[in-house]
Amino acid sequence: MNTNKEISLEKLILGINNFIFCLNLYKEKINKLNVFPVPDGDTGTNMLLTMKSLDLSFEDDMNVEDFLLALKNSSLMEARGNSGVILSQFFLGLLSAYKRNKILSFGTLADGFVNAARTTRESLPNPVEGTLLSIYEDLGSKAIEKCESSKNLSDFLRELSDQSIKSVKETPNKLEILREADVVDSGGLGFAMMINAWFLSTIYINQDDIEKKLNEVYLEMISGLSDSVSKDFYDESEEIEWGNCTVFTVKGDNMDISKHREIIPEYGKSAVITGDSSLMKIHIHVLETNPIIEYAKKIGVVENIFIQNMDEQTKEIIDSQKDYKKINTSILSICEGKGIINIFNETAGNPMHVLIGGPKKSPSINDILEVIENIKSKNIIILPNNPNILVTVKKLIEISGREGLGILETKSIQQGISSLVYFDDSKTLDENISTMKKGISSIEEASITKSTRDVKISGKQIKKDQYIAILNDEILDSFDNPQKSLEFLLSDMSNRNEILTVIVGHDSIEHDHKNLEESFYEKNNDNELTIVEGNQPYYNYFILGE
């Protein structure tokens, strides 16, 4: 047996550690290569978080298959977003190849790429060329071609590294939207950087030398194209400190709601108090929850307490007040923004559970499972509300053994909200999913956000810091301020929709809303306009047309 063709666990682990090292260096550059020009590009971050989840501890006598199985499981369970799920296919492919070959070798690695390409293509409803899928396929072909002739691992990885660079540079020629945006595919570049980092670790000992060579590789792959890297990217999209979003009801007799509307806001921020003298619904953001709860207990009976830490990517939901004997089907909505969370809670009531997630906050399979394990109802319907998160939830459904777990394939906040109108806890899981789909198919949806760079997309030239008007996933136009973009969309959507709801993001101009309503009704007497605070990050407005 030619031992030069074998790959020891030590060398594989060295390669994976260099994958992580590389992604730590380049995650922000990878993030900024996302095609769509909005500040939610998180491909690099999701790839890094997926890799960091891997358990790389091993013993000298450890079984290779057990180690690869552990890699597959941990990468899948912690896979973040679309890019993380697809990246996890590499470890799934490697395990399958090892089971077939019974040895960890160049040929096994080659088969691993082929397997990763196949499973990726199978897992996507609409596989797209010019993405990480293409990189897997190209590396598989090159690895099969060179696995026998390569003298050692370094020679083999050199061939793969060269091929990965060529493949990434070719992605704009395979995918028109990349060509229009003047960038290469972000996930493909990320994986190519990982392969190059592994190769460079076989010929350089000093990390400074590896970093220098990696930068040359990166510059070669984006040569002649836009790198889209902005130093102030994260500064401009910095998260607001939310505190604890606290929602509960108070039951009592002859409660003076006017009095409590004056007192309760003193406990925190963003207070909303609705109801009457017998039942109040209270929403407030506080740093400490006990003072407001204790005050409420002096008013009446406190029920349905919902506390959520808005400062964390995921939250712990307080379920102690939920009576699951009265809940047949729970709903788990993945969303963010205190107002949006409040909309979901008020619309669905007690069956609603919320997990913080959205652009730049893609929960992993484990994050979602942790919430699901604490939900004691017979059935659960998950609302992803984001196309990237949808991929993760689909994979969770595939591997979960829990009965009564379903998914409603909502790709936006608007779809998630509209679907709840058709929810009926007396119906079966399948009946609810079927009827809730009506809410998705019956609406129009739009959004407004600021472009993070100059870009040409869908034939339209958009400048950095302009506000993009997006209708049903199509960019219609761009404007110099968000109000003009909003007025444009409302004028267009009012021709087809009787009811329009505007959900306002955290950085939009609140004092213009009254003028907006007056202007709207002057032109649209037969329409209804509702404006609510959503506080969603990254998007100035979401619009729902019914």
pLDDT value for 537:
84
Q: At what angle do helices 207-221 and 153-174 cross, to 10 degrees?
A: 30
Do both 37 and 114 map to the same domain?
Answer: yes
Which residues does the chain have with pLDDT short of 50? 1-2, 39, 229-242, 310-320
Sequence-ordered strand ranges (E) for 287-425: 301-309, 329-335, 352-356, 379-383, 405-407
User: Of 424, 442, 460, which one is at a domain's C-terminal end?
Assistant: 442
CATH number at residue 97: 1.25.40.340
Which residue type is seen at 214?
L
Q: Is the Cβ–Cβ distance between 188 and 171 less than 8 Å?
A: yes
Note whether 165 and 18 are same-domain residues.
Answer: yes
Q: How far apart are the first and last CA of the chain?
A: 69
Same domain as 354, residue 223: no
pLDDT, position 38: 54
- 99 with 197, same domain: the answer is yes
Asked if the structure places residue 317 within a domain, the reply is no
Query: How far is Cα of residue 197 from the mean position of the Cα atoms in its chain?
Result: 26
| Cα(389)–Cα(364) distance, integer angstroms | 9
Contacts of 363 by beta carbon, 8 Å cutoff, 6+ apart = 80, 313, 314, 334, 355, 356, 357, 389, 392
Which of 442, 475, 497 delimits the end of a domain?
A: 442
31 and 163 in a single domain? The answer is yes
Report if residue 450 sits inside a domain: yes
Q: Per-residue pLDDT tens for 268-307?
A: 876 767 657 877 767 777 878 889 999 999 999 887 676 6
- Residues 407-432 pLDDT 10s: 999 999 999 999 998 999 999 999 99
Residue 338 has a pLDDT of 82
Q: Which tens digits make up the pLDDT trace of 389-410?
A: 999 999 999 998 899 999 999 9
∠344-345-348 over CA atoms, to 5°? 80
Amino acid symbol at 317: I
How much is the pTM?
0.69
Are 120 and 133 in contact, with CB atoms under 8 Å apart? yes
Instruction: Give the span between the Cα atoms of 490 and 497, in whole angstroms.
Output: 10
Q: Two tokens at 3?
A: 């031992």
The answer to whether residues 336 and 299 belong to one domain is: no
Residue type (1 letter), 274 = T
> CA 307, CA 338: separation in Å to the nearest integer?
11
User: Encoding tokens for residue 112?
Assistant: 């691993």
424 and 386 both lie in a single domain: yes
CATH of the domain at 295: 3.30.70.120
Choosing from 198, 229, 260, the residue where a domain stops is 229
273 phi/psi in degrees, rounded to 5: -125, 115
- 59 located within any domain: yes
Same domain, 92 and 183: yes
Query: Are 25 and 60 contained in the same domain?
Result: yes
User: Order of strands, edge to edge, in the sheet holding 539-545?
Assistant: 474-479, 467-471, 444-450, 539-545, 499-504, 528-533
Give the Cα separation of 543 and 249 in Å (integer): 28
Q: Rounded to whole angstroms, how far apart are CA atoms 34 and 19?
A: 20
Is residue 485 one of the residues assigned to a domain?
yes
Kindly state whether residues 158 and 272 are assigned to the same domain.
no
Classified as helix, coil or strand, 506 is: coil
Does 334 fall in a domain?
yes
Residue 531 phi, psi (nearest 5): -115, 125
Total structural domains within the chain: 4
Instruction: List the domain range (segments joined by +) for residue 53.
Output: 3-229
| Domain CATH number, residue 394 | 3.40.50.510
Q: Is the domain of 103 the same as that of 215?
A: yes
Q: How many CB atoms lie within 10 A of CB 349?
A: 15
With beta carbons less than 8 A apart as the criterion, state whether 405 and 378 touch.
no
> For residue 128, is it within any domain?
yes
pLDDT for position 234: 28
Which residue matches tokens 């500064």?
A: 235
Same-domain pairing of 131 and 94? yes
CB atoms within 10 A of CB 194: 24
Residue 364's CB: how many other CB atoms inside 10 A? 25
Query: Which pLDDT score, from 0 to 100, does residue 88 have?
Result: 84
Query: Residue 539 sits in a domain of what CATH number?
Result: 3.30.1180
Identify the pLDDT of residue 304: 63
For position 281, what pLDDT does the model report?
66
Query: Is the residue at 234 inside a domain?
Result: no
pLDDT in tens, 435-486: 999 889 889 999 999 888 888 887 888 899 999 999 998 899 999 988 899 9
Residue 314 is assigned to a structural domain of this protein? no
